[in-house]
Each structure stands twice: as structure tokens, then as C-alpha cells.
Structure 1
């Protein structure tokens, strides 16, 4: 295993444990998580593997096989964290005096910038390893919550719980139906192959970075709208027409998206549980239009990918992730995969855009030990 070999070369010993945590793609339920709504992600085959050993001092030595330097970074204080190291050091910071230092080597294969949540995979893999090594007894959901706090409080990204929960809790062959208020969840069968279907991820190759920017602005708009409506979160809006009548401008549009998107999640779950996955395409299309027009987080590249995929024969498609770039997903019959790929590639070529990357995804397992 590459990460074990790198750990051994950098630190002169075997790692005490090795954990793997996946990235995620969200089937439906976008920007609902921080509004206490519903989401339906599944884990992807790509993720982060962390080889970890505890230390008796406060030193943190970090090595990434994706970093430009083959030498480990040595952090004498947690305030020294920069770049990717913030996600790891944030996990240690949230654990406080329950842990001291650590030697950590990580190896990731989540496509960067594609909106597949490599940061959550990094947090959950490291947190899971430390949970084992220190006998902390955290459940998978508690590991996810720790990762979320690291990203919120240490990195400064106001994300919801969805990404970390998917990385920690997902099961192979299933999507995770998660109630982001109660944190109740259940795995819903997502056996697309049995129905001759695939989820095709379309990576636009447009870098997706929204920490502290437009993502935070959308969250603030939702919180402001909730205060105006006198509810704890937009999850509590039961009469959408009456709510919209009390709002104006951007907040009105944001509320319309969030409320209808949570309903779409429940509808997709119902179809999957009924063994009718081929019928979810229209809900994927509706989700994209809402994200484009009401939440305003799409991009020209995402819109073209979705439109071309549907024209090419996809049963439905939408942007996935926070938006402003990243990836779209398309629900495609097996015998239409090549046609859909060609349709999207041609649409990009016509606009002289860099070619998109196509990643057929099957639902993978959540975080698990490799040793």
C-alpha cells in the first residue's frame, strides 16, 4: 500500500492503523443540509487513506502523497496549519486534550475541484483512525460531527453535516437518507445496475471553491429568511405560498428552492424504496432548474453539461455539490453512456472549453479500517 510505504519512509516505523474514507456525490438534496432539511448522498469509490500513529508529545508530522514536497511537514503548534493541513489539524484541535500529537500520512484519489468532498474524506479518515487509536468510542455519526466542527470552527467553512455523514455512514450499494435536524438516517438501496442504469459524474473541470464566499452568503440569506418567517430553520416552512408572500428578492428565491428540494428528496426516496429508480430523472431535472434559477449556484459549464446530457438521452441530470463549478450527475441507461458522453463532449468542444471528465460512479462503502 502506497501510503504505508510512504509512512514508513518518512517516519521510520509502521503506522499504528490505516483508515479509508470516501468522498461523496449527492444524488439529490442540495443546500438543504444547513437548513435542517433532507439529503440523499452516496459514497463514491474515490477517497482518502490515512496511515496514523499517535505521539507522546504535541508535535504533528504530516505527509501527503499529493503534496509537491516528499518531506513531511512538522507543526510544533496547531496555529501553524496552512492549506490542506488545516483539515487534519482541525480534527486534532476538536479532540482537544483527548489526543496529543500524531504522525500522519495521507493518500487521496478524489478528483480535486470536482465537488466530491475530498475535505470530508480527509477529516473522516483521520478522525476514524484517532478514534480507534485512542479508544474514544465515537460512533460514525459522532466522527462525522467532529469533522464538521473541524471544518466550521477551524477551517472556517460553514458547511452542513451531509459530506462528513456520507463519508462516515454510507453503505455499499446504498444512498444515505439523512435528516439533517435529527441526524436520523437510513440507507436506501441504490442498485442501479439491476435496472440497467448508471450514475455518470460529469466533472466540468471548473475549480470549485466557495469557502467564505458565495456559499456563506447563501447560508446567511437562508438564516435571515428563517428569522423573518419566525421559524428555527427553513425545514419548518409548511405553507410555502404563505411564506413566499412575506419575502422579497433573493430570500424569496432561496426559500422556494430549499423547501421544494427537501420535498424532492422524499419523493426520490419513495421511488427508490419502491424499486423504481428509472423514474427519478424528472426530479433530478427539477432540482437543477431550481438550483440554477432560484438558488443561483450553477455555472455555464454545469448548465451545458446538464442540458447536453439530457439531449443525449440521459433520463435526468443536475449539478451536484455546492455549485459555482465542480460536477454534474446524469442518470443514464447503460446502453446510452457513450451517447451521453459524446453529447456533452461535443457541447464543450463547440464552446472551446476544456474537455470534461467522466466518472461512472457506483455506491461505495463508508469509512473503514484497512489494517
Structure 2
């Protein structure tokens, strides 16, 4: 345990350099930048909550989807990975039974009285509801909660498909686990923290999200998640040394508007479920693929052809998600890239979520994919990610092509549109010198 002043001195002395290298990247420039970032975080904590406080540090990463595009909502299989952008929190317990959280750049304080662990009027869709919901979820599972003062800073890109809200939720879960439950990794393992975070978002925040985002942020590394039983998802984790392969992960923002896309997103799920309903099932995971393929002539008459090809995408991309993880474990990066490109084609051609048919003139995602193919064909891999229709694409770029690729994307979509990331092998964790 250390005061904020003592912790700052340890960071200045380089005692946290090893932790920063593991969480972010091992190059000296990145470590130095994180040293400065954490020192500034601690300075801001002291300005708002006073000096001399005993404090702890926590970090939770953003995540990127790698395989299984639009498969989780029909109880399919996905592959995702944590990235080296994160939310970092400095925390000090208090005796008030009140959680106070200041998020850098938002100009307000969340003030949550933990004697009230039910959804509060007017709090939905605000960060306070997530904190209260996570606390309620901890208590519901037999854990303890209590007050703390907290200052956070995040570089998880908002609106970029990297799950900034999930990172915030699992960070709060890690704090309650660490500060009030002896960091019990058995009772409150990473998947349990993810499920508690999903509960907070569903019940308190009011968003009916799946479990992929929270699980990927909580667990870290590259993972597959099998949602056959969504109450008990099966998670397989593998380390992914992308830099060791000589590649960078690029997330490129096409700057498209997400307005008026709710119907497009909802149609994917409803059409997949309409195919399941043809067989008397709720979701496609419950329908045997061979039975579906044999019945296509009858199914298309009831559901329409787009629902059928979206169902084909579901089965293929579930299979690919598992194969992607197998390729990483087998150290077969060429196979991994082939699967990424195949999944991208499936999303574009079968799932049909590269652009909205309501606004065919706006096709930023297809344009970014076309640029990616032009620069990377034969060397890298590219795909749309997340909900689609607008937003971001993903590319695995050889380091010797990185500057050329960034320049090509930024020339079309604006400076800073291409974000260079790496896979992080830690989930939601306390940040300590010996991690």
C-alpha cells in the first residue's frame, strides 16, 4: 500500500516500467509516455480528492472483434482480443459508503450512494447507472461493496467499436473485487466480472447488449467465446504476439454516421431469428446447419433470401472464429490472415452490413476496405468489424507497410483516422510493479 505521493515516486524511479511494458508495449518511448500518463492521473486525483491518501491503480482494456461478426446474438461463437488502449483508475477507499468517480474530460462527478442498489430514476444511460449496477451485481453474487474515491482517464476510442463502455464497467468490477473482496479471482473471476458488467448495462443502463464486449475487456489476450449457453459462456484464451509476427493491428475510422442505423442492426438479428423460427427454434445456434441447408428452398419462401444468406454467414463465421483461434495456437499466421479476409468477404457479401441500403451513396466502409486491399493484398488482411454499416474497419498490416497504409487511409478519411494498436494479454487488473 502506498500514498499517492509515494506511488508517484515509485513510477518516477522506474519501478512500474515493467508493468507498463507488459500492458502497452516494451519500447522505451511507450513506457515513458505511460509513466507521464500515470503521473498526470495521480496529480489529478490529488487535486480533486486531496493528498496523503492511500491509493491503488487499476486498468481495463478496450477490445476489438476478430471473428464471429454478428454471431453472438444468436448464441454463436466469436473471437475477440483486448487492445493496448485502456481506462486507468486511481482509487482510494472511503468510509462513506459512497462511490465518487471523476472521468477525465467529462467535467462532472458520479456520486453513487451504495445504500441504493436498484435502478434510480433518471440515471439510465449515464455512467452512474453502470457503477451502481456493477455494485449491485457484486452484492447479488455474495460479494462486498463499499465506498471509494476514483479518478479515471481513458484512451479507448469512443464510437470506434473498441467498447469504451465495457472497459469502464469491468474496471469498476475489478475495483470492487480488489478493494472489498481481497481480489478474489476464484469467486469473481474475469468471466464473472464480465457477466456482472453485462447485468449492469442491461438492467441499470438500459442497453440490451450481449456478453462479448465485457468478456473480451475483462479477460484480455485473444479469446474465443462460445455462447451456446449464454448464461455460462465457454471462454478459451490464447496469447497473441502480433508484433512478434512483424504486424500491427490497425483500426480505421471511416467517419460515417451511425444515425438512423438502428433498424439495419436490428434486421440482422431478427432475420437470423426468423430462420430459426422456421424450425421452431429461438436462435440459429439451436438449428442444425445441415438441416437448414437442406431446407433452403422452403425457408427462402417464408423468410426471404437475405435472411437465408445471413444465416449462411452465421454458420460459416462461427466456424471461422474457432479456426482463427486454432491458427494462432498453431502459430500459422498465414492461415489466420486467410480466415480474416474470408470473414470480411462473408460480412460484406452474405451478412450485408458494409453499408446501409437506405443511403447507398455513403459507403465509407467499402471504400476503406478497397483501399486496404489495394495496399495490403498478398501481404496483410482486412475486414469490417463490429455492427457495420458505418464506423470502423480492421486490418493486420506488415510493419514495413504501416506508414504507407496509414497515409492511404488518412488521405481519404482525414488525419488520425488510422489507429495503430496491438493485442494486450491482460484484462481488467490491478496495476502493480510485479505483474
Output the TM-score relative to the length of structure 2: 0.74
Alignment of 1:313-332 (within 5 A): 313-314=376-377, 315-332=380-397
Q: Secondary structure at the match of 1:112?
A: coil
Q: Secondary structure at the match of 1:187?
A: strand
Query: Which of structures 1 and 2 has the bigger CA Rg?
Result: 2
Unpaired segments of 5 or more residues in structure 1?
Answer: none
Hey, what's the Cα distance between the residues in 1 that align with 2:139 and 2:238?
Answer: 35
Does the 8 Å contact 1:304/1:344 carry over to 2? Answer: no
- Residue 304 (structure 2) pairs with residue 262 (structure 1): no
- Residue 137 (structure 2) pairs with residue 72 (structure 1): no
Does the 8 Å contact 1:205/1:356 carry over to 2? Answer: no
Hey, what's the Cα distance between the residues in 1 that align with 2:261 and 2:130?
Answer: 13
Summarize the Cα distance change of 1:17–1:221 in structure 2 as closer, same or farther, 3 Å threshold: farther
In the alignment, which residue of structure 2 is the partner of 1:118?
A: 164
In the alignment, which residue of structure 1 is the partner of 2:86?
A: 47
Does the 8 Å contact 1:221/1:251 carry over to 2? Answer: yes
Does the 8 Å contact 1:114/1:205 carry over to 2? Answer: no
Hey, what's the Cα distance between the residues in 1 that align with 2:243 and 2:283?
Answer: 37
Shift of 1:186: 2.2
In the alignment, which residue of structure 2 is the partner of 1:362?
A: 422
- Residue 205 (structure 2) pairs with residue 162 (structure 1): no
Does the 8 Å contact 1:113/1:209 carry over to 2? Answer: no
Shift of 1:238: 2.3
Q: Which of 298, 302, 327 is the equivalent residue of 2:365? A: 302
Shift of 1:138: 0.8
- Residue 150 (structure 2) pairs with residue 85 (structure 1): no
Q: Secondary structure at the match of 2:121?
A: helix
In the alignment, which residue of structure 2 is the partner of 1:37?
A: 76
CA-atom RMSD in angstroms: 2.8
In the alignment, which residue of structure 1 is the partner of 2:405?
A: 340
In the alignment, which residue of structure 2 is the partner of 1:4?
A: 42
Which segment drifts farther, 251-260 or 78-87? 78-87
Shift of 1:305: 0.9
Shift of 1:265: 1.4
In the alignment, which residue of structure 1 is the partner of 2:249?
A: 199
Unpaired segments of 5 or more residues in structure 2?
Answer: 1-37, 356-362
Q: Secondary structure at the match of 1:79?
A: coil
Shift of 1:367: 1.4
Summarize the Cα distance change of 1:51–1:208 in structure 2 as closer, same or farther, 3 Å threshold: farther
Does the 8 Å contact 1:113/1:208 carry over to 2? Answer: no
Q: Secondary structure at the match of 1:205?
A: coil
Summarize the Cα distance change of 1:142–1:311 in structure 2 as closer, same or farther, 3 Å threshold: same
Hey, what's the Cα distance between the residues in 2 that align with 1:257 and 1:160?
Answer: 19
In the alignment, which residue of structure 2 is the partner of 1:311?
A: 374
Number of equivalenced pairs:
361
In the alignment, which residue of structure 2 is the partner of 1:284?
A: 340
- Residue 149 (structure 2) pairs with residue 103 (structure 1): yes
Summarize the Cα distance change of 1:243–1:22 in structure 2 as closer, same or farther, 3 Å threshold: farther
Does the 8 Å contact 2:69/2:385 carry over to 1? Answer: yes
Q: Secondary structure at the match of 1:294?
A: helix
Hey, what's the Cα distance between the residues in 1 that align with 2:373 and 2:366?
Answer: 11
Hey, what's the Cα distance between the residues in 1 that align with 2:394 and 2:253?
Answer: 9
In the alignment, which residue of structure 2 is the partner of 1:138?
A: 188
Hey, what's the Cα distance between the residues in 2 that align with 1:209 and 1:4?
Answer: 37
Does the 8 Å contact 1:86/1:155 carry over to 2? Answer: yes
Deviations, residues 163-216 of structure 1 (Å, cap 9, x unaligned):
111111123xxx112222352222234233333333222222335579966434
In the alignment, which residue of structure 1 is the partner of 2:225?
A: 178
